[in-house]
Amino acid sequence: MRSASLVVLFAAAASAATAQPASAAFVPSTPVGAPSTTTGQPLVAASADGSASVAYTQAGDVFVATKQPGQAFASPVDLGAGTAPKLASSASGRSILAWTDGASTRYALRDAGSATFAVQPALAGSAGDAAVAVADDGRAYLAQVLPTETDLLTIAPGNTTVQPATSLATAAAASSAAIAIQSPTGTAWVAASAKSSGTSTTRVRSWSVATGQGSPRMVATDVDTSSGTPPLGSSTSYGAKNLVGASGSRPSFFWTRTIGAFGFPTQTTTLAVERADEPFTSTPTQLDAVTTSITSPSLSSVSISSDASGAATALWFGSTSLFSAHASGAFRGADGTWGASVSLDTPSSGTSTDQYSSIAAAPTGGGGTQAVAGVGPRIFVTTLSTTGAALSVPTVLDDQSQADPAGVGAVAAAGTGSGDTVAAWLRLTGSAGAAQVQTALGDATAPSLTVGPGPAPSFPPPTTQASVDGVNALLRQPTFVATASDTWTGTSPITWSFDDGGTATGATVSHTFATAGAHVATASVRDLAGNVATKSYPFTISQVSLTPPPAVGIATLSKAAFSSKRFAVVKGKAAKKGQGSTITWVLSVAAKVELSVSKSTSGYRSGTACVAKKPKGAKGKVKRCTFWKALGLAGAPQGVAGTNRFAFNGKVAGKTLAPGKYRLALAPVAPLQTHGTTAATLDFTITK
């Protein structure tokens, strides 16, 4: 089948490529608007900020749908009656849409960051075709085709009102126009074609923002001298038409024209694709031609893509019979030099459902191109090199072979120059002749990702070993924050991995580490096309300890002891035999003494530490261990210099201790020292 030929030929050419520009992964296609028997071919524009627009006609009106960065296309908006829309955007996102409404030219503008096109008042004058472009500085250009001239109008950044720039006389009925922006000067070139008495003429004129002046240039004069009649039923194809412009350091214009018409005695028709480059001369370059004896030969209009480097691509296709079609292209380097046109496949025979219906180009950066083609009931996309070699196996964006063998139509494509691409085409819905605009987003750029620490915990200064342990446990549970964005397709939830094997999901997460010291947290995010961004955040968990007592006037504690290390809890107001115990100690000076109690608790070995829970991810049997779990204060009596006694009833913080092994820590504190050190520890056992 024709589609199979396309896949094989593009894949075979990949071995010739030496460098691969950015290649986008496409998210599933989505429809725009409602199906209708009057839906026209879509136009698309894309900007580096992640915004895009798609325009089309339906039931005699012009519709436009926009997408904001990271979002899908919104519902289309009806801008009013009109035909032949033209659409263009700048890298920053400013866009212009123009169309013809009866005898007037209409236009609408969308500023960078805006989600809507603002329709402006109609332009005066009897209008034919129109052309639009937007320079990098946001200046919009609008070419209005009038009966015997084409006017180039400008719209300054931040403004909506058109201003006259220059006019180009055609001396005959104009048929089409195009605009190209010359970099880095920002000079605008406008081209217009006209036909009269069996001849056609294409002229251009430049206009400079800096000087406000222009100069006329003749591209081609009398390039069509055929005196025969136009092909039957195809009178509109007679003479130069379908002008398109490629911007860059050397602007170029492409067009198609009839160079031999159907009529006796020849009964043949020849169509051609031609190009003219700056500095323009009267001799264009013929790139392709088809000659056929059928009454409806095909040589489609050229699809142009240019990137910031000045590199450009032109793609077109044609057919010499009802069952044979070919696709071709021309490629320009950043130096402004075009190579010879190349065939992207070979003509082949098959059924009518296997023929090209359209082809479109979008820049990937570095001179590469995303080529989107409609072949029979399918839409393909592949990445081409600067010589036309295929750098990827074609991806099927749409396949209606089962639903409707003739189920796809004309395609359009636009790119940001960094590999991000928007494609649009018509899909038949199965209703009688109804079609719907379908879109797909190609995302070649990984999401943007930042990671950092979350809010630090707050706590009062620890005064005992028990409070120090509590603070250190808090410090081993840090919080992390990450932010992610993707200008083209949006992102999935952020995932985290930690150097101890733990994981988490979300923009803000916390994780408990078994030990202090150096650690690493790694965040990852995926956009909807599958591109992944990963960023690591190294950090250190610190520990606190009790502040040493002052060097002068300190209270030293010594000779701490229990009267009995094994005893039961006091059941009543007074201790009975075997209940309670007396604690004694000696102070060098009067000081308050905190008596804190910890319980011997069973845990699991995690490195050099003993933790309460079995470590996550641990395999096999984990060694058991014991650690001291802080319970609270048994008391904080004010001591005197000399011997001190404290009757301990076996209760801590008002709670009765259960039978088990415990540890008592004695620490002198204020007023003579703000933070005491643990002066003594005594182990004891509570019996039944």
Q: How many residues does the chain have?
A: 688
pLDDT tens readout for residues 164-173? 998 888 766 6
CB atoms under 10 Å from CB of 453, counted, come to 12
Task: Provide the residue ranges of all domains of the chain, joining segments of one domain with +.
Answer: 2-443, 448-541, 557-686
At 179-234, the pLDDT tens digits run 999 988 888 999 888 776 656 778 888 898 887 776 655 443 433 434 334 444 44
Sign of torsion over alpha carbons 486, 91, 357, 429: positive
End-to-end CA distance of the chain: 90
Q: Tell me, what's the pLDDT at 268? A: 64
Cβ atoms of 34 and 436 closer than 8 Å: yes
pLDDT at 217: 55
In the prediction, which pLDDT does 54 show? 97
What span, in angstroms and rounded, lies between the C-alpha atoms of 342 and 357?
A: 19
Mean pLDDT of the chain: 82
Homologous superfamily in CATH for domain 2-443: Fucose-specific lectin (2.120.10.70)
Strand, helix or coil at 10? helix
Q: What is the 3-state secondary structure (H, E, C) of 424-455?
A: EEEEECCCCCCEEEEEEEEECCCCEEEEEECC
Q: Are 426 and 434 in contact (CB under 8 A)?
A: no
| Local structure of residue 166 (DSSP, 8 states) | E
Taking only the tens place, the pLDDT of each residue in 661-673 is 999 999 888 655 4
Q: What confidence tens digit (pLDDT) does each residue in 278-329 have?
A: 888 777 888 888 776 655 556 677 888 888 888 899 998 877 665 667 788 8
Helix (H) or strand (E) holding 86: strand 83-89
Nearest C-alpha neighbor of 580 from the set 684, 466, 665: 684
Q: What DSSP element (H or E) covers 21? A: none
- Cα–Cα distance between 440 and 414 in angstroms, integer? 11
The more confidently predicted of residues 291 and 486 is 486
The pLDDT tens digits for 129-166 are 899 999 988 999 999 988 888 899 999 998 999 999 98
- Structural contact between residues 213 and 197, judged by C-beta atoms closer than 8 angstroms: no
- β-partners of residue 140 are 134, 155
pLDDT at 602 over 70: yes
Q: Which range has the worst mean pLDDT, 27-41, 259-273, 337-351?
A: 259-273
Closest residue by Cα to residue 640 from 679, 591, 577, 571 = 591
**309 closest CA partner among 445, 421, 419, 417:** 417
For residues 598 and 582, give the distance between their C-alpha atoms in angstroms, rounded to a whole number.
18
Domain 448-541, second-level architecture: Sandwich (2.60)
Of all residues in the chain, the percent with pLDDT exceeding 90 is 39
* Structure confidence by residue, pLDDT tens digits, 619-665: 778 888 998 999 999 999 999 989 999 999 999 988 999 999 999 99
**157 prior amide bond cis, ω within 30:** no
* Fold agreement (448-541, 557-686): yes
Q: Which residue has the tokens 């005893």?
A: 567
Can you read off the two tokens belonging to residue 38?
Answer: 């009057």
Give the other-Cβ count within 10 Å of 674's Cβ: 12
Rounded Cα gap, residues 424 and 398, in angstroms: 11
**Nearest partner of 441 among 20, 30, 110, 64, judged by Cα:** 30
Across 45-68, average pLDDT = 94
Q: Which fold has domain 557-686?
A: Immunoglobulin-like (2.60.40)
